[in-house]
Structure 1
Amino acid sequence: MASTAFLLLDATGYGPIFEEEPIDVVYTEDSPEGRISMNCRVRANPPATYRWRRDNWEIKLMEQPDEHYSLVGGNLVITNPRQKKHAGTYVCVAWNVYGTVISKEARVKFGYLEEFPQEERDPVYVKEGQGAVLLCAPPKAWPQEVTYRWIYNEFPVFMFTDNRRFVSQKTGNLYISKVEAQDAGNYSCFVSSPIIGKSVFSKFIPLIPLPPEDGEERKYPADIRVKFPDTTAMLASNITLECFALGNPIPHIVWRKVDATDLPPNHEISESGAVLHLYNVQYEDVGGYECEAINTKGKDWHKAWLYVESAPEWAETINNTQIDIGSEHTMRCVASGKPFPFIRLLCFFLEVSALKFSSLTFEDSGMYQCIAENYWGIKYANAELRVIACAPTFEFNPVKQQLLGAKDGRVVIECKPRAAPRPRFTWTKGKELLFNNSRSVHISIMYDGSLEILNATKNDEGLYTCLAENDRGKGSSSGYLTITGQLAPEDTEVKVGDEVILKCSASYDPMLDITFIWAIDFRVINFDTEWRHYERVMVGCEDGSGDLRIKNVQIWHEGRYTCTAQTVVDNDTAYADLKVVGVPGPPGVLRIEEIGDTWVKLLWSKGAEHNSPILYYTVQTRHFWALNEDDWRNATPTFLDGNAERADVTDLYPWMEYQFRIIATNEYGSGEASIPSLKIKTWDAPPVVSPTDVAGYGGRNGEIVISWTVGVLHISCFSNYNMYLLMMLMFTEYYILF
């Protein structure tokens, strides 16, 4: 009765499952609401109890009532929040008798936008035709996502931007490429925080254009003053790159992607040309970006790199599991992301990387959580482990009352009661107790409790009873075995691509029609639609044979094949297991564990062996400065032991983009390669050799010709700009200055 009661409770109750978790909050102390609500709601049976933590310290709402904190359902309400006391990281903890779950972290931060200093700003004097920069010097703000505009002479008159005037949304500074007389006036930097709904502006800065000394404007070459830095973006995010130059005439801005004919299709350039927007950034957008400023007096250029990283995503995670007491069980979580995420598994407030239970107990039941985290985000996975126990019962799966077996064939009588822990099995035939090898070598009790009879004869007919017993109780079920004249198929092993015939025949009344039905893993084979692989062997059918031919055998043809001989008055069934051997399947998820300048550490999971042990793995790589991006080459080391699941790949080039893949090989050959890893870039490093045979001589039209040799590669460049660009593209650490 105790077991039954436990099962009833087990079937209706469940641990907490989050339906709403707290989110980050930005609060300003002058907010009219005067409160913060951190929401948390779970579904659970019985209902869950809630607790909250701030910076890993429990908020003791029950024991110590607080004038600021209160609990409304599962929600934490903070009344009259104060920064010193209430800013921090909060988590919601929900629990019931089945276990505990912890919500994702939510941060409470206090937003602010300070005022500009009240000191007067110095005037800016600049000659007409020259460029000017007016510094914003914005006050401190949180969040840092603010927008900048400039007031011209009086509020609310704002200065318009164009290809001559630019306001950087990174620094707030105002840039005028070529000052004109009409630019004279007073300018104030206007800063707005859309999140907290506040704006401030600076003291006015007088801009005073001065007429040219000789009455004629001087011309100046393009001079880039707004330079975008090396940028790391999150996958699928939007980014903005700024580039603006001073000069007279007004410079024209041109954008390029290094080593590419065009900018990515997801780009947009502002009307002024000073801003490049990239939307929904992907890994293929990684690379160098260059802006060039050009006017009739000269040109200037700037280049920086864009890197793309990603938040964690689950490759393998935990799921709700119901499992017998005393069983073995492993819980593991695997995640991808860039940089590689830190993964931890929480159980009863302990943190581990993986859990392996050698013998489950009731105390192991509960809620478990996997957490994968990197710079870009955090990913949670919750699951309940439920350990059960009950006496053996055949209510749901009794032994078949009428059993048929083929003469001289193999007969298996299944015994599959519901029981936990795993029961002990005994069999009887009539009143005779059966043991392995007790009657003859052709009868044995299998590990799963089934009874196996080989080379069955009429003497094996009779009433068979399976008795199952564990420490919770016992149960039994019986069936009567009749031996017929059917020839059963035999267990067979076949290689991928070969052909095999499974034989099946039966004795029957020739006055009746007989039909043979074949099934694999209890799915009936449809010969009309599956003719490419399955075919009936019709020769001898009039003698009661219905063999099955399997052509061009594939891995998925492996399984248990059942042959049923059927007439209008009777039927009989026999089965055999087909084992298919072949090359290994592709290894599992390939991850980059660490990156160096000339090396990386790889980690992968074992793929399917396909019934033949893996002899060795082959590591391959490709880099993205090759002429053919599909050119996979063996890495160093090339071959690894078949039990390996990690590798230290060496002899790579610094500052180079790579992908990696793994191929498994067994005695039947090499399988498909794994899915390529994410693209990575090795760390940069100083060059190990210098160019040789450097020579130069004068050219035409004021040009200089320089040539040099790097290994066997000879490069000649005409004009200093083209030479410098090509050197930067091919050997990024060499800089030639004139």
Structure 2
Amino acid sequence: MARQPAPPWVHTAFLLCLLSLGGAIEIPMDLTQPPTITKQSVKDHIVDPRDNILIECEAKGNPAPSFHWTRNSRFFNIAKDPRVSMRRRSGTLVIDFRSGGRPEEYEGEYQCFARNKFGTALSNRIRLQVSKSPLWPKENLDPVVVQEGAPLTLQCNPPPGLPSPVIFWMSSSMEPIAQDKRVSQGHNGDLYFSNVMLQDMQTDYSCNARFHFTHTIQQKNPFTLKVLTNHPYNDSSLRNHPDMYSARGVAERTPSFMYPQGTASSQMVLRGMDLLLECIASGVPTPDIAWYKKGGDLPSDKAKFENFNKALRITNVSEEDSGEYFCLASNKMGSIRHTISVRVKAAPYWLDEPKNLILAPGEDGRLVCRANGNPKPTVQWMVNGEPLQSAPPNPNREVAGDTIIFRDTQISSRAVYQCNTSNEHGYLLANAFVSVLDVPPRMLSPRNQLIRVILYNRTRLDCPFFGSPIPTLRWFKNGQGSNLDGGNYHVYENGSLEIKMIRKEDQGIYTCVATNILGKAENQVRLEVKDPTRIYRMPEDQVAKRGTTVHLECRVKHDPSLKLTVSWLKDDEPLYIGNRMKKEDDSLTIFGVAERDQGSYTCVASTELDQDLAKAYLTVLGRPDRPRDLELTDLAERSVRLTWIPGDDNNSPITDYVVQFEEDQFQPGVWHDHSKYPGSVNSAVLRLSPYVNYQFRVIAINEVGSSHPSLPSERYRTSGAPPESNPGDVKGEGTRKNNMEITWTPMNATSAFGPNLRYIVKWRRRETREAWNNVTVWGSRYVVGQTPVYVPYEIRVQAENDFGKGPEPESVIGYSGEDYPRAAPTEVKVRVMNSTAISLQWNRVYSDTVQGQLREYRAYYWRESSLLKNLWVSQKRQQASFPGDRLRGVVSRLFPYSNYKLEMVVVNGRGDGPRSETKEFTTPEGVPSAPRRFRVRQPNLETINLEWDHPEHPNGIMLGYTLKYVAFNGTKVGKQIVENFSPNQTKFTVQRTDPVSRYRFTLSARTQVGSGEAVTEESPAPPNEATPTAAYTNNQADIATQGWFIGLMCAIALLVLILLIVCFIKRSRGGKYPVREKKDVPLGPEDPKEEDGSFDYSDEDNKPLQGSQTSLDGTIKQQESDDSLVDYGEGGEGQFNEDGSFIGQYTVKKDKDETEGNESSEATSPVNAIYSLA
């Protein structure tokens, strides 16, 4: 982070510098004056032949000047040429070719003359040339034949154009020729090969010339290159070899210069131009070029290297750049040097250019024309376009070389003088008039200007004026009589007042007064001093990972009377605020930072008077760029060296490289990890397997992530060998009771070691002396048929290819297929543990009856009936599994108060065996679940109404409900009150004793076992009484007599009456609770609740009870048992699937029972209860 100082002129706004401190004096245009050239074409004027020709010449004067031209130093009669016209009030020539004509006919040297009665001004001599872009001459180019390693120059020789064309080389595919220190284009347009390589003949080479004015490109016939070599280019692994020459057997050579020739040369350059020195050398290996200056250093501020150090450019040459320069070309075979002697000449340049001279009658003055150059230029004076020698004599004028002196000038002395200074490299022409005037002082700037400046800055107040004789100027502040000069003030000759350091007390009104012998004039400037703009919290340098968010702060303090603008630059260019950026007054946020966001960010806080800058650098940590230029060397039968060039780490160091390989036989196109190496290496020896056609690539890894894979290397195939390993994961398992399937994991490409990989499969019965059976298999499985039931076998699988067999394999034990078990568990004993769980115990079966591997003992059980009379239950069978050879287990999550039946089987891999004797047991009564839909309503401030529905799972005979409630107000809690209700009661009203307090109610159902789960609710907060009552009373008084209101009330009353009648009928039918006999009776479609698997308590007419429950037996997905033998002191049995807890539940709805019969699930407890006494 750094503050960037703003340039001084940025802080000094409204500086009215109409006259430079030493500049020429301008005469107001309302006064008579000689002509002055204001605009003209360049000296070398090149035009496009397709356009009209425009030669500019503009001038001012009073009276307005007239114009005429010369062409090739002879008068150019415009009126006689219909194609040539002159613009009105201007000397600009327009040559129109729309009606025909050749632009080349108008080439030549033109000069413009601007004249009025006070003199004549001249333009430069303008050399008009028409741009040319000639075609390339037709030629047939023979193929260029060259020996590998030899130097080569392909000459371009472009047609001469005006101006000279831009040269570039293209390939036959219209791609630019790739250039480097070996192959490059010289300044003359030729293409130089320091040494030719075999790969250079892969394309043709065509020189192209682009002509600027005509926007055309001319192409030369292409060169075809033939490279002779004694070493055919068959080994693709050498294509990117770092020392290609030694690898190819090319003879190495010391450097020699291709351009310029010899050991020394000279070059001349004009002052102010660019000096371009060039050295191109041949050699093997390619030479490096270095530049030096004899007796000193290269000018670091002006020198730069181009074209891979083959060219040295020095800009804006001056005389001190003369001297001897030399280039040094070197390779490992040696070095040579070429010396270039540089001479700097100079076209004329001004030391003191003549300026307009304004005098009063009787005054003295002088015109000075001093110029320098190499060689020294000559000076020629003219007056009104004529040589001074041929002008009428003037006794008041004296010529002294480069100076003309005027004494006691008179009105008749007015004229325009020309100074022409020239040497062999060019000329300079300057006009300067002498004007003799009597003019009283006048102010040239607007009156009473307001100037605003920044505190502590250097400021200049300008007061442009004119008068002849030249007036004197004085400054005053706030009307005070003392002249401002000295100390913090300085008055320049042109009248400008400089305040060296602005302070608050410098604010005020400044008056400038100009005086000469003819009178005086004055003007006022009001100066306001403003506080500077300063960034007091600057953005800080940050390092961010790609994809994160960056926040750059920029908080500014400025003068409140000035409008502040905060903008941002990125890399010193205006920042585009896109969708990923958010700019606020004091910050910039970049979301999802990407690599392109890296760079310098400059906060620019500016007002109309000044600005402040603060810069911070954002470094983005990104994934590394892909490695490149993979190369295989040190090729061996079982190893190879892989070398690569690392890509850019994108500001996060590379930590690892992953080398991957691909083979084209087993899994073509699939890449596998081969090895991993530290980020500090770029070369590794890779261990290889036999008979694999390898291709490699490399991935770089840093803290941010992985790069894209590199481009693949060349392929490399290793020789074959017998397998050194055998397939793994060999298994023998029966798929039927009389077979055994032998399977294994096939070997991959790196373990096959040769072609035609196959497997020798052997098997025999275990612990017998039978001969081995064997078969050769090409796949990964083999089925042995006609085997006894569940017999162990020894199995061996050996790999083999065309080079031989693998090592002798180890034997693996497999088994033939299983059959169903032939016996059931005996002595099954059931012990009821609680209302929802039982423990089981049984005797194991004999191993020979299992006929396979014993997987588990399994209990099948079902709910036969409920102890609640006439209650239908689902008899869907559930199961509980007890893995392994165990003799006890627990079945949990049974329905309380129910009759159950249970059978047991033994299970192997084939399936269930026969079932044991059926056992019956009964679960005792349990506690109910929580009452459903407990509702608390507060119709007024005196009562609270409670309503609830019966529990979903009564789990026995319901004895009633227990309600506990307590009043509370904040942290203050009242005494708890307990109410008991009968099982039929589902409503209760509480009379409030405290209208401010709230109430907390807890309700539970109970059986003879005890109270079940409780549900808790709180009463709502008491309403605010005053406002709603008053509003209601006012509203009632207003609308009670309205007809629509009376009709609405009548309709509501009628509707309430109908609802009361319906409710009365419903309640009168719910007084008795006999149970419909539903066991094993299918539900009819006439009862939607029965279709849904629910049951109702109803009277003799089978009408449903209001508020009856929808479900008795619910299906709940299998969960792990909460009970185990550990809980009941019977040892370390596991949970559900291990300790025998059952799989499955009863269904909530009968439909669900039937559709989800394959799911192992069971209800937590019975759904409903008998609300009448059993």
Q: Normalized per residue, which structure has more strand?
A: 1
TM-score scaled by structure 1? 0.48
Which of the two has higher C-alpha Rg? 2
